[in-house]
Amino acid sequence: MHNKEILLVDDRKENLELLSNFLHEKGYKVRSALDGATALMSVAAREPDLILLDVEMPHMDGYEVCRKLKSDPQTETIPIIFISAHEDTEAKIKAFQAGGVDYISKPFANEEVITRVNTHIRLSDYQHNLEKKVQEGLEKLEVTQKEMIVTLSTIMETRDDDTGQHVVRVANYSKLLAELYGLDAERVNLIYKAAPFHDAGKVAIPDDILNKPGKFEPDEWETMKTHAIRGYEIFKASTGEILQMAATIALEHHECWNGSGYPHGLKGEEISIAGRIVILADILDALTTKRVYKEAWSFERASDFIKEQRGLIFEPKIVDLFLENEGLFVSIYNKLKD
């Protein structure tokens, strides 16, 4: 407790002196203010660990001081204990409504004050430590998710010689399209993190089919198409948001706007927005990079193809967003090209 500081706010100097001496004896650092305005300036200069606040003060009462502190994100978590001569229930309710964590009636016993101060200091410490641990946990989870993406990307690249930076570019193209489409930041982030898993099902495709340089035979093409369902099956049991999104993208990133895609022939808005975005990102990258079965297309040629497939393979709105912002996609390609 010896590193904790308490701000005392009371318009009566004798009360401040009494509490200050007692709290010093208990190991607390103490500073004081005789009115609400001074108290607010004191908090702005350095945030205390707890505030003991009188109700009746000139110019600005304790309720208003408390409301001002609680309305500021910087100071809203500071625990405030009211000390007042008012013992009626209405005064106590008003104190709690203003944001106080406790209420001590005057005249007070020193042991009552120190017990409540100690309790709320401990509670505040516990809350801050819990928030810190939660944040650390989220950061560790974030690292784990990134490691999973990198690991899976590495597996895919070792099995499909021509993919290279494919999954990274698809993720970035998808993020840009999601932002241009107007999706909220959370959805954009989910699509960005899940998009690299779109071809995860290819781990189940035999090498001689996956890396075949020529055209697929009908039975080979049917095998190749199963990667969409295989990818979905890898992630479908997960309860995590990112892997749930990965399951959806893996399943739907070959579904076409006009219903001619696979595996289920979904049409229009039957396809999730993530699936509608990733199919364009995936095909754009496939067209503009060299593969075992083709040379890389220029962005101009790929752009013409995407324009031709507006309303067929691709949702018209997504095509329009791509065409209006093509330079941004070229920048991503140049930054991440193999």
Domain architecture of the chain: domains with CATH: 5-132 (3.40.50.2300), 160-336 (1.10.3210.10)
Tokens read off for 310: 């507006």
CB-CB contact of 176 with 325 (8 Å): yes
pTM: 0.58
Torsion (CA) 299, 303, 306, 310 in degrees, nearest 10: 160
Order across the sheet with 29-33: list the strands.
29-33, 5-9, 50-54, 80-84, 102-105
Taking each helix axis from N to C end, the angle separating 326-336 and 273-288, rounded to the nearest 10 degrees, works out to 60
Sign for the CA dihedral angle at 36, 42, 46, 50 comes to negative
Per-residue pLDDT of the chain (338 residues; tens, 9 = 90+): 458 999 999 988 988 888 889 898 888 999 999 999 999 999 999 999 999 999 989 889 999 999 999 999 999 999 999 998 888 888 889 999 999 999 988 888 888 888 888 888 888 888 777 777 777 766 776 666 666 666 665 565 555 544 557 888 999 999 999 999 999 999 999 999 899 889 888 888 887 888 788 888 889 999 999 999 998 998 888 878 888 999 999 999 999 999 999 999 999 999 999 999 999 999 999 999 887 677 889 999 999 999 999 999 999 999 999 999 999 999 999 998 86
Phi, psi of 255 (to 5 degrees): -80, 135
Vertex 261 angle, CA 260 and 262, to 5° = 135
Tokens read off for 91: 């005064």
pLDDT at position 161, please? 47
